[in-house]
Amino acid sequence: MLVTKGGVDFHTHSNRSDGSFSPAEVVEYAKGIGLDAVGLCDHDTTAGHSEAKEAAKKAGIEFVAGIEFTTVWDREEHHLLGYYMDGSRPTFRQTLVNCITERKARIGKAIERLRALGYDVPPDMAERKGGEIDRGDIVWEMIRRGYAESFEEGYPKFFDADAPGYVIPYTVGGVEPLTVKRAIEVVHGAGGTAILAHPMGFMVKEMPRGRIKALVDFGIDGLEVYHPRQSPEVSDYLLSACREHGLIVTGGSDCHGRVKDKPRMGMIRMSLDHLDAVKARAAEWKKRAGV
């Protein structure tokens, strides 16, 4: 379960999506705080995996290759974590292409809305970063411009479901929606383990038992039970659901880099038997998918 030393932080981000650390810096920081393993789960991309894997080899720490897919379910946004996928699978690769197309349209709409409200957000942010940005990049820009003091303050202020910059995924851009169910299928088809990220921590505040049962029917492998935005009571509820349905339990800091000069990486550490469970399930899916 949770540990205070060593362990694995299953959920971090790099500047390949909306974090402030490079993939190598994620790994180096994880090593510096004594983690045994660290998962890199950038939004809708695996672009940081090669750099992180190489850094992990040099640092002597285990790298957990992951992704955080942006998905929808009944017009609600849900995030799906995938671990240990074979990134060469055609369906997986095409899904990433679709995600990029959707995100560009959605982020463009978000910037348009914020500028209309008087926020001085550069309309050419994407071009400045090389063509791709995410909501977190806008939050960091808002911090630089004095609209928020930290990522922890800025993200909910601008991008929670009722915030001014929020745009429901797949409502702009003309891309076929990536549903939770479909994302699970994509992860499994690439030989990976599918975990629902922060089930009650961001856009969705309630996860009734019936909805968890629906996820089980979709084929979900596990839930991110422990997350900074989920209370102990919520974690207990999710843990009991995992036990009821035989789901894998994970947890992570969702670290996006420095928050008031102190990254939160490692504030949630899971014992390595949880990592073993994720690996074992991925091995099962690889066998089924012929990966």
Name 232's Cβ contacts closer than 8 Å, sequence gap at least 6.
none
8 Å CB contact between 258 and 264? no
Whole-number pLDDT of residue 262: 66
Question: Is residue 111 one of the residues assigned to a domain?
Answer: yes
Angle subtended at Cα 250 by Cα 168 and Cα 222, rounded to the nearest 5 degrees: 70
User: What's the distance, CA 80 to chain centroid?
Assistant: 7
Whole-number pLDDT of residue 63: 99
Question: Is residue 3 one of the residues assigned to a domain?
Answer: no
Question: Is residue 122 one of the residues assigned to a domain?
Answer: yes
Whole-number pLDDT of residue 75: 87
CATH of the domain at 230: 3.20.20.140
Core vs surface per residue 162-189: b (16+ CB within 10 A) or e: ebebbbebbebbebeebbbbbbbbbbbb
Tokens representing residue 38 in the block: 């660290």
Core vs surface per residue 236-245: b (16+ CB within 10 A) or e: ebbbebbeee
Tell me the residue range of the domain where 23 lies: 8-289
User: What's the distance, CA 160 to chain centroid?
Assistant: 15
Q: Locate tokens 């996820």: which residue?
A: 215
Name 230's Cβ contacts closer than 8 Å, sequence gap at least 6.
198, 199, 200, 201, 238
Whole-number pLDDT of residue 27: 99
Question: Is residue 2 one of the residues assigned to a domain?
Answer: no
Whole-number pLDDT of residue 161: 87
> How many folded domains does the chain comprise?
1
User: What's the distance, CA 246 to chain centroid?
Assistant: 22
Give 127: exposed, middle or buried? Use CB within 10 Å, 0-12, 13-18, 19+: exposed
Question: Is residue 168 one of the residues assigned to a domain?
Answer: yes
pLDDT in tens, the chain (291 residues): 899 999 999 999 999 998 889 999 999 999 999 999 999 999 999 999 999 999 999 999 999 999 999 999 998 999 999 999 999 999 999 999 999 999 999 999 999 999 999 999 999 888 877 667 889 889 989 999 999 998 889 999 999 989 999 999 999 999 999 999 999 999 999 999 999 999 997 766 678 889 999 999 999 999 999 999 999 999 999 999 999 999 999 999 999 987 656 678 999 999 999 999 999 999 999 999 998
Question: Is residue 1 one of the residues assigned to a domain?
Answer: no
Name 151's Cβ contacts closer than 8 Å, sequence gap at least 6.
136, 139, 140, 143, 256, 257, 259
